[in-house]
Structure 1
Amino acid sequence: MAGKRRGARAGRWPALALLALLAACSTVPQHVAELPGWGEDALAEAVPAFVAGCRPPAMPAALCAEAAGLPPGDNAAARAFFERRFTLRAAGEGLMTGYYEPELRGAATRGGPYTVPLRGRPADLVEVDLGRFAEDLRGRRTAGRVRDGRLVPYPDRAAIEAGGVEAPVLLWVDDEAGKFFLQIQGSGRVALPDGSVRRMGYAAQNGRAYVPVGRLLADRGEIPREQVSMQTILAWLERAGPERARALMAENPSYVFFREAAARPDQGPSGSLGVPLTPLRSIAVDRTEIPLGSPVWIVAKHPLTGAPIRRLVLAQDTGGAIKGKARADLFWGWGEAAAEAAGRMKETATLYVLEPAAP
C-alpha cells in the first residue's frame, strides 16, 4: 500500500506542474482588453498624440481617420477603438529609463559665462541608411565623412571638442555638463539674457557608439551601481573638477549636433517621428523592433514613489542608447520635476505592442 501511495503521489506531480504552467500562461494577456490596468488608464489622453503620428505604412489610413474622429475626452470610445482595431504582441521585459527636455542658460554670442558651444550640423557629415545596402541592416544607420573618395568614420567627441570639425555655433551656454546631458536627451530649451527662449532640436549624430558614462563610473567604483542616475553623475562631475569631468565625458565618443526648432512653449520637442513629444505618453524605442507610431502598453514602476505605471504610450522617438525589443525611454516633459523623475528612472518594464488588426 505504501508503495502504491508513493506511486500515486509521484503520478500527480506532472499533472500539477502542467496546471501551474497553464496558470502561468493564462496570465499573459492575449487581447488588448486583457492588458493589466487597461481599464484604469485615461485612454482619451493618448488619442491626440496617436493621431499626430498616425500615418502609413505603420498605420492604415482608414484607421488613422477613424482615430481622428473619436470624440475628445471620451475614454470609453477610445478604449473601444483600441480594443477593436488592434491586436497584441508581447515585446517582453526590458529596461525602461526616462528622459526630459533640459533647460539651459545661454547667449547668441560668446562672452562672460557663455563659453560652451552648441554646434549645428557640419556640412561634411554624411548619414547612411545601411538598410539600402543589406536587408539584414534595415533600420540601421551610421554617419561619416568622405575623404579621398571613401566614407570614413566621423571624428569622435574629443576631436570635435578640440576643434577637429567645422560646424556652425548656434548658441553659447554656461554649463559643459548641462550641454552633455542636452546631447543625451537630444533636445532642449535655452533661456537667453533678454528673457526669450530658443528651442534646440536634434539635427544629426556623428555615428559613434553611445557609451554611458554612468556605467563607467560604476565599473570604477566611483558610484555604487544601484545608485547611478543623472543626478549622481552630475554630482560626480561637479566634485571631479573641470579636467576630470571633461575626460570622462570624452569617453562617450557619441556627439549630437543641433538645429533651431520651432515649437510652441506648451508643447514638447519634436521626436524622430516628426511630431511633438507628449509627457508620459511618448517613448523612445528601437525602431528596428517597434515601428515608430505604434501604440505600446507599458507596465513599470514610478521611479520616485514606486507606484505602478500602466498606461498607453506611443513610439515616437529613438535614441542612441535605446537598443533591443523591450528597451524604452519614457518622456517626462520639462522642468525640475520632470528632470528629477527622468534622471532616476531605471526600472524593469514589460512592453506590449498594439498592432493594427487585419481588416
Structure 2
Amino acid sequence: MSCSSSSRAGSPLGRPANMVHQTMNTSTASASRASSRISSMRRFPVLAAILGMLAACATAPLPPPDEAAPPAPLNPAPAGAPWPPPLQQAKSRWQPVPWSELPGFGEDAMHEAWNAWVKSCERPPAAFAALCPQVRQLSIATPEEQRAWMTQRLQPYRVEPLQAGAEGLLTGYYEPLLEASRQPTARHTVALYRPPAGLASRRPWYTRQEIDTPGPAREALRGREIAWLADPLDALVVQIQGSGRVRITEADGSQRMVRLAFAGSNEQPYRSIGAWLLQQGAIRDASWPGIKAWAAQNPQRVNEMLWSNPRVVFFREEPLSELDAGFGPRGAQGVALTPGRSIAVDKDSIPYGTPVWLASPGPLAKLQRLVLAQDTGSAIVGALRADYFTGWGAEAGELAGRLKQPLRLWVLWPK
C-alpha cells in the first residue's frame, strides 16, 4: 500500500463487464457459500499490510477520546440547520438524505470495507485526499468508531437517475481461475495475446474472426502469445471478465500462477453469444453450462458462435505476490479491487474512489453494505447501475453469473 496521494496513471480495466450475465444453472446453496467466502477472504494478510503501512506513514493523529465529538445522530439535520443542496452529475442527480435512510447502516462489518477504502487512498479523488490520513488510522478502529467518524465527516446523497422511472440493476463479475500452457500443445491451441504493436493505428482493430483465421491480423499477433488454453470458451470468459488468474505450465514442466490483466481491446462491439444462440433457436438455457453443452454437441459450429462476438481483449502478464493474491486486479481507479467491497460504476454518475452505500434486496443475495466505486465497464451505464466484484475462482464465478437484481445507491460525500 502506498502512502502517496498521487493521481491515477495508466489505462482503466476497461472490462466489457457482464454483457452476457448468463444465469448459472447451479444451486443457491453454493452461491451462498461464495457470498460467505467473499466476506472473510484474506483478512489477515491485509491487516498485516495495513499495520505495516501505519508504522511507515506519517499521518495526522485522531483527536484524543475526551476531545472527540459524539456520534452524529442517524436522523435529519438538526433543527434550523439547512440541508446541503442537491448535486448534479452528468448522468445522475444526488439528493441529500439523513443517515437513517441507509438500510442496514448500523449492522455492516465496516472493517471489511475499510480495506477497500485504504486501497482507494492510494489514488484518492481530490475530494477525499484530505480525509485519507484519518481513513488509514481508522483501519484499526472499532465499527462504532468508524460509523461515528463517517456521520461526522460525510453527507449521504441518494443517487437518482436524470430520467424518472429508471430502475437500478446490480450484476456481478469475477476473476476466472484457469490452467494454461506457455507453449502450444496438441491440447492447448487457443492463444491469449499481448496487444499488437500497431493496435493504435487501426481503430477498430481486426475482428475475432480475422484474428482467428490466416491473414494480416494473425501475422500482427505472431510472437505476442502469452499463454495457450485448451477451451476457446475459457478464453472468451477471461476476455469478458477482463482479467484472470492463470496457472501456466512452462516449457520445463514447472508451474507458476500469474494474473492476466486487461491491456487493451480491438474496440469492436461486444455481442453476447448467449443471445446469438437464443436468436438461432439453438438453446433455451443461455447459462454457461447450457452454452458449453451446446458447444460439445455442435463442435462444427463453435467458431460460428464465437465469431458472432467480434470483440477481443488483450492482456499483460503480472506476477501474483502473497499480498496481491488477497486482492483482485486493478480497476479503472488504478487500485486493486477488494472482493465483496468494490463495484464498477458509470464514472459520469459516480466518481472513482467514492464510498457508496449499496442496497440490493435479492433474490439471490440480500446486500446492504459499504462499497467503493473503483472500476467501470462498457456495459455499466447510467445512474443506478453497478457491477459487484465477487472475487475469483468457481464459486465467485457462480455468484457473479447469477447476480442480477434490483439496486439502490447512496454516495457518501465530504461535508
TM-score (norm 2): 0.67
Please tell me the residue identity of whatever aligns with 1:112: A
Secondary structure in 2 matching 1:88: strand
Counterpart among 101, 107, 111 of residue 185 in structure 2: 111
How far has the Cα of 1:73 moved from its partner? 5.4
Q: Is the counterpart of residue 49 in structure 1 residue 107 in structure 2?
A: no
Change (3 A) 1:260 1:326: same
Match of 1:17 in 2: none
How far has the Cα of 1:157 moved from its partner? 2.0
Secondary structure in 1 matching 2:234: helix
Counterpart among 351, 360, 366 of residue 291 in structure 1: 351
Structure 1: stretches of 5+ with no match in the other structure: 1-27, 127-144, 147-151
Within 1, Cα distance between the matches of 2:346 and 2:291?
A: 25
Match of 2:41 in 1: none
How far has the Cα of 1:246 moved from its partner? 2.2
Higher relative contact order (CA 8 A, sep 6+): 2
How far has the Cα of 1:311 moved from its partner? 1.0
Contact 1:100 1:332 in 2 (8 A): yes
Q: Is the counterpart of residue 310 in structure 1 residue 368 in structure 2?
A: yes
Q: Is the counterpart of residue 350 in structure 1 residue 401 in structure 2?
A: no
For the pair shown, which has the larger CA radius of gyration, 1 or 2?
Answer: 1
Identity of matched residues, %: 42
| RMSD across aligned positions (CA) | 2.3
Match of 2:240 in 1: 184
Match of 1:141 in 2: none
Q: How does 1:166-245 map to 2 (within 5 A)?
A: 166-167=220-221, 168-193=224-249, 194-224=254-284, 228-241=286-299, 243-245=300-302
Q: Is the counterpart of residue 157 in structure 1 residue 213 in structure 2?
A: no
1:172-205 deviations in Å (ceiling 9; x for gaps): 1111100101001111111123332121011112
Q: Tell me the number of residue pairs that the alignment of Structure 1 and Structure 2 aligns.
A: 302
Within 1, Cα distance between the matches of 2:139 and 2:246?
A: 37
Secondary structure in 2 matching 1:248: helix
Within 2, Cα distance between the matches of 1:250 and 1:98?
A: 25
Within 1, Cα distance between the matches of 2:411 and 2:294?
A: 38
Match of 1:81 in 2: 149
1:286-317 deviations in Å (ceiling 9; x for gaps): 222221111122222456xx341111111111
Structure 2: stretches of 5+ with no match in the other structure: 1-94, 161-166
How far has the Cα of 1:351 moved from its partner? 1.9
Contact 1:59 1:293 in 2 (8 A): no
TM-score (norm 1): 0.77
Within 2, Cα distance between the matches of 1:248 and 1:113?
A: 21
Please tell me the residue identity of whatever aligns with 2:176: P
How far has the Cα of 1:266 moved from its partner? 2.8
Which region of structure 1 is more displaced relative to structure 2, 65-74 or 194-203?
65-74
Contact 1:206 1:255 in 2 (8 A): yes
